[in-house]
Chains A and B, each alone.
Chain A
């Protein structure tokens, strides 16, 4: 079946440290992997995504890596800031014309000043 596992469920770091969140997906037909950030009481917002033909993508302090063979993808946040504190969700989707995202359970990231 379709499943995305996400670890860790909570992550606490000091400001300036790096944070890494890892996801594993089960559907080998998945080829689009977005990451969403959800602050308390707000909507999930897309922060970065990666497609299966790319192994890594960076956007300032955020990077995502994908290992299709192992069905793993990870979010890396460098130089964390208190405003990075939020819940982060990974997701996977097929390129089949159906916009069905399978989400991981989420990681609550706390960045302490």
Chain B
């Protein structure tokens, strides 16, 4: 089974630009979550999508948004980039559902650098 695939692996953007990151979950997994990883703040939850619906959202400004397609692939968008948005963006896929506890598997991440 192929793992979680994130594209691109690396991105360099200028302040004020916008960026779109992509995540393809493990086949059969319907839940995709996004996390931001920085040296100072660690791993922070951005949002989760399940069956094309955002189920939960972390404490990030509205510049951070996402969506999920019918094939469970998810995209994350950051508009009006700031220097502080430089981070490793990780997505995680899970097979659940509701009422069950299952593992989350991470992709390799997209390293975003804002200059």
Contacts and interface: CB of A to CB of B under 8 A. Distances in A.
A55 to B, nearest CB: 16
B87 interface: no
B42 A101 contact: no
B98 to A, nearest CB: 3
B109 A34 contact: no
A14 B107 CA distance: 31
B64 interface: no
Interface stretch (A20-28, A38-46, A57-65, A74-82): A38-46
Interface string A74-113: 0000000000000001010101111111111110000000
Q: How large is the interface on A (under 10, 10 to 19, 20 to 34, 35 or more residues)?
A: 20 to 34
Contact of B98 (A51, A97, A104): A97
Interface residues of B, number: 30
Given A100-B45, A102-B45, A43 B107 contact: yes
Contacts of A34: 103-104
Contact of A46 (B42, B103, B109): B103
B31 interface: yes
B21 to A, nearest CB: 15
Given A43-B107, A89-B42, A100-B45, 5 more contacts: A34-B103, A44-B106, A91-B43, A95-B101, A100-B33
Interface of A: 31-32, 34, 36, 42-46, 49, 51, 89, 91, 93, 95-106
Interface of B: 4, 31, 33, 35, 42-45, 48, 50, 55-56, 58, 90, 92, 94, 96-109
